[in-house]
Amino acid sequence: MSVWPGPRFYTRDLVNLVADRKEGRVLLYSEPGPGGYADPVPFGETVWLPKPFGFALATEPLKRFV
């Protein structure tokens, strides 16, 4: 029996967006800055996805999954 892992999108640029339901936050991993990766963003705030996506993602709808 196989389990479908959910939608996955692949690009040449590595961008990982993780929704942490237990902590109620989103983590975005792309290019680390001098201090490492960006800080987690609580559900309800907007996350800016870097290129090749280049758009803002509203995380308000994710609150219903906590």
- Cα 36 to Cα 55: distance, rounded to the nearest angstrom: 22
- Compute, in degrees rounded to 10, the torsion defined by CA atoms 65, 29, 49, 60: 20
Q: What angle do CA 24, 29, 32 make, to 5 degrees?
A: 130
Check whether 2 has a pLDDT greater than 80: no
Read off the pLDDT of residues 37-52 as tens digits, 9 standing for 90 and up: 888 999 999 999 888 7
**Chain centroid offset of residue 11 CA:** 15
Give, rounded to a whole angstrom, the gap between the first and last alpha carbons of the chain: 28
Domain ranges of the chain: 16-65
Please state the rounded mean pLDDT for residues 3-26: 76
What pLDDT shows up at residue 44? 95
Read off the pLDDT of residues 55-66 as tens digits, 9 standing for 90 and up: 999 999 999 988
